[in-house]
């Protein structure tokens, strides 16, 4: 029969091993010195859950579904599955392809219904019920602004998806909200020289604008940019979000004296309004001795496909395009194409990038504690994500990067080649003073959500 003999040396050794084990266990999630309690801390729940909250129904559903594809691909790559995608090109990169801080990421999804209230409710549910440590996703700025306000209240970081309103990182910016996507003011700066070059400086513009925060700020920015060129604004008309038949709004354009129609529409709105504008013969018309032109200041691959032939020759701006030649774009297009059988849209790209950037920030911070993750993102300078050298500006949480000017392909060689990149406006030119849009980021310290 063996006898338990505990001498002083054994006791010290046992206590030492036990103590080291006890100390090492929580540091699984907190390599640094931040073991604070916070909302949905993975240290407490034992799970890392990302919340992907995108419109799967409503006017912007297609963009939302693409974005969701991007998020799911990002999770695969973060967890070390697939070919690694942009983890191979992101510089600098802290992620190792083994999850975040050594543990696999899980996710929950939600449908914002292209509706601000539903987006906010969905995000709240993800935080309160599902235990999401980060929420991301949007295709309207209304959704993004509502979610980032909620995120600030609840102390959970929100990485916005597709949102182009100046307000998102302007008057409505939040410490807990981050935007990778470009914005309306930058679209105005980028597109103006091309409009002057293509259509001249003596034009009369008529705006049809989606009646919500994004439409208002895009109209304001494009109006300012075109009037600076010497264009006159004939009228600015608001149209309800989700309208199907634009005939009653297009007929007045015909005899308004305008020679350019600017469509501040996105998603299904633009997929409906642009072909109907073409059906009404606007592009065949002459007005003021010039060819009538249509401009869509912000448009995407998906919208271009949806609008069909109507998009040919139309100028707009874009956040990213799969046909770019940099290594990041090539890597993402390959990963996404193999996974989903089609090239990715800018919505998928921005979603993917946001998920990766958040995970990388956690890895660099060594903790999920939001203030430290926020500090890791603020001022982060990176490259290799398809947009050239990019800065996550600390002052307003807006990514500063080049902006693409695109045109509907006149002679597409395949069904995928619907947009041509006709110009890149460098980051320096689209960088603006964050003070011009006002707003306050708010405090770093998180609230306790439960």
Partner 1 sequence: MTALFAQLLNGLDKGAAYALIALGLTLVFGTLGVVNFAHGALFMLGAFCAVTFRYLLTIEVVTTDPTQLSPWGQPLQVRTPIIQDWLGDWGAVIVDYSVPLSVLLAIPVMAAIGIAMERGLIRHFYKRTHAEQILVTFGLAIVIGEVVKTFYGPNPYPQPIPSDLRGTADIGAWFGLAPHILTYPIWRLVYLLFSLGVIGGVFAFLRFTTFGMVVRAGMADREAVGFLGIDIDRRFTIVFGLAAAVAGVAGAMYTPLLPPNYNMGMDFLVISFVVVVVGGMGSLPGAVLAGFLLGILQSFASMTEVKTLIPGIDQVIIYLAAVAVLLLRPRGLLGRRGVMES
Q: Which is nearer to partner 1, 52 or 336 (CB)?
A: 336
- What's the full length of the chain, in residues? 450
Residue 347's alpha-carbon distances to 65, 162, 244, in angstroms, are 9, 6, 22
| Nearest distance from C-beta of residue 111 to partner 1, angstroms | 9
The residue whose two tokens read 């790209």 is: 349
| Nearest distance from C-beta of residue 251 to partner 1, angstroms | 5
Q: Which is nearer to partner 1, 338 or 440 (CB)?
A: 338
Q: Which is nearer to partner 1, 274 or 385 (CB)?
A: 274
Contact 51, 138 (CB under 8 A): no
- By the 10 Å C-beta count (0-12 exposed, 13-18 middle, 19+ buried), 308 is classed as middle
Q: Which is nearer to partner 1, 93 or 305 (CB)?
A: 305
- The continuous run of DSSP H or E covering 410 comes out as none
| Nearest distance from C-beta of residue 281 to partner 1, angstroms | 3
SS (H, E, C) 384-401: CCCCCCEEECCCCCEEEC
| Nearest distance from C-beta of residue 103 to partner 1, angstroms | 30
Residue 31's alpha-carbon distances to 22, 200, 206, in angstroms, are 14, 58, 56
State both tokens at 313.
Answer: 């020759």
Contact 138, 147 (CB under 8 A): yes
Q: Which is nearer to partner 1, 36 or 323 (CB)?
A: 323
| Nearest distance from C-beta of residue 101 to partner 1, angstroms | 31
| Nearest distance from C-beta of residue 332 to partner 1, angstroms | 10
Q: Which is nearer to partner 1, 416 or 444 (CB)?
A: 416
| Nearest distance from C-beta of residue 315 to partner 1, angstroms | 22
| Nearest distance from C-beta of residue 323 to partner 1, angstroms | 7
* Helix, strand or coil, per DSSP, at residue 273: helix
Residues ≥6 apart with Cβ < 8 Å to 237: 206, 207, 208, 209, 249, 252
C-alpha to C-alpha distance for 146 and 140, rounded to whole angstroms:
10
User: Residue 59 carries which DSSP code?
Assistant: T
| Nearest distance from C-beta of residue 287 to partner 1, angstroms | 9
Q: Which is nearer to partner 1, 132 or 311 (CB)?
A: 311
C-alpha to C-alpha distance for 139 and 143, rounded to whole angstroms:
7
Q: Which is nearer to partner 1, 62 or 372 (CB)?
A: 62
The answer to whether the bond into 143 is cis (omega within 30° of 0) is: no
State both tokens at 101.
Answer: 């801080």
- The continuous run of DSSP H or E covering 230 comes out as none
Q: Which is nearer to partner 1, 217 or 333 (CB)?
A: 333
The residue whose two tokens read 């010497």 is: 230
Residues that bind partner 1 (CB under 8 A): 57-58, 61-62, 235, 237, 244-245, 247-249, 251-252, 254-256, 268, 271-272, 276, 279-281, 284-286, 306, 308, 322-323, 333-338, 341, 343, 414, 416
| Nearest distance from C-beta of residue 97 to partner 1, angstroms | 21
Q: Which is nearer to partner 1, 78 or 303 (CB)?
A: 303
| Nearest distance from C-beta of residue 65 to partner 1, angstroms | 9
Residues ≥6 apart with Cβ < 8 Å to 186: 317, 403, 425, 430, 432
Q: Which is nearer to partner 1, 248 or 411 (CB)?
A: 248
What is the b/e burial string over 256-293, where b = at least 16 CB atoms within 10 angstroms of the residue's CB? Answer: eebbbbbbbbbbbbbbbbbbbbbebebbeeebeeeebb
């Amino acid at each position: 029969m063996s006898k338990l003999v505990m001498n002083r040396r054994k006791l010290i050794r046992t206590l030492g091993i036990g103590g080291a084990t006890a100390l090492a266990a929580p540091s699984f999630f907190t390599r640094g010195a931040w073991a604070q309690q916070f909302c949905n801390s993975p240290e407490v729940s034992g799970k890392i859950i990302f919340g992907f909250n995108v419109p799967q129904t409503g006017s912007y559903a297609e963009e939302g579904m693409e974005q969701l594809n991007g998020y799911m691909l990002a999770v695969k790559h973060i967890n070390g599955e697939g070919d690694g995608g942009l983890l191979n090109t992101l510089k600098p990169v802290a992620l190792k392809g083994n999850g975040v801080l050594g543990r696999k990421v899980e996710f929950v999804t939600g449908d914002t219904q292209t509706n601000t209230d539903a987006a906010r409710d969905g995000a709240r549910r993800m935080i309160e019920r599902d235990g999401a440590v980060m929420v991301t996703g949007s295709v309207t700025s209304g959704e993004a602004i509502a979610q980032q306000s909620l995120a600030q209240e609840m102390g959970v970081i929100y990485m916005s998806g597709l949102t182009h309103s100046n307000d998102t990182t302007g008057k409505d910016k939040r410490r807990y909200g981050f935007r990778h996507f470009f914005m309306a003011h930058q679209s105005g700066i980028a597109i103006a020289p091309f409009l002057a070059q293509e259509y001249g400086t003596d034009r009369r513009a008529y705006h049809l604008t989606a009646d919500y925060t994004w439409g208002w700020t895009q109209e304001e920015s494009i109006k300012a940019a075109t009037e600076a060129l010497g264009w006159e604004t004939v009228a600015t008309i608001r149209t309800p979000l989700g309208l199907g038949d634009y005939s009653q709004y297009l007929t007045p354009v015909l005899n308004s004296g305008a020679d350019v129609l600017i469509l501040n529409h996105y998603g299904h709105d633009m997929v409906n309004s642009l072909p109907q504008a073409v059906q009404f013969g606007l592009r065949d018309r002459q007005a003021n001795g010039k060819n009538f032109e249509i401009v869509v200041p912000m448009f995407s691959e998906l919208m271009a496909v949806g609008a069909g032939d109507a998009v040919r020759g139309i100028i707009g701006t874009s956040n990213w395009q799969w046909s770019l030649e940099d290594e990041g774009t090539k890597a993402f297009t390959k990963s996404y194409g193999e996974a989903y059988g089609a090239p990715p849209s800018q919505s998928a790209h921005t979603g993917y990038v946001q998920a990766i950037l958040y995970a990388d920030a956690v890895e660099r911070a060594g903790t999920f504690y939001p203030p430290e993750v926020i500090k890791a993102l603020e001022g982060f300078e990176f490259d290799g994500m398809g947009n050239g050298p990019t800065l996550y500006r600390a002052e307003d949480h807006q990514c500063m990067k080049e902006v693409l000017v695109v045109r509907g392909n006149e002679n597409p060689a395949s069904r995928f080649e619907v947009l041509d990149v006709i110009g890149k406006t460098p980051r320096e030119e689209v960088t603006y003073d964050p003070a011009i849009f006002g707003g306050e980021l708010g405090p770093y310290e998180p609230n306790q959500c439960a």
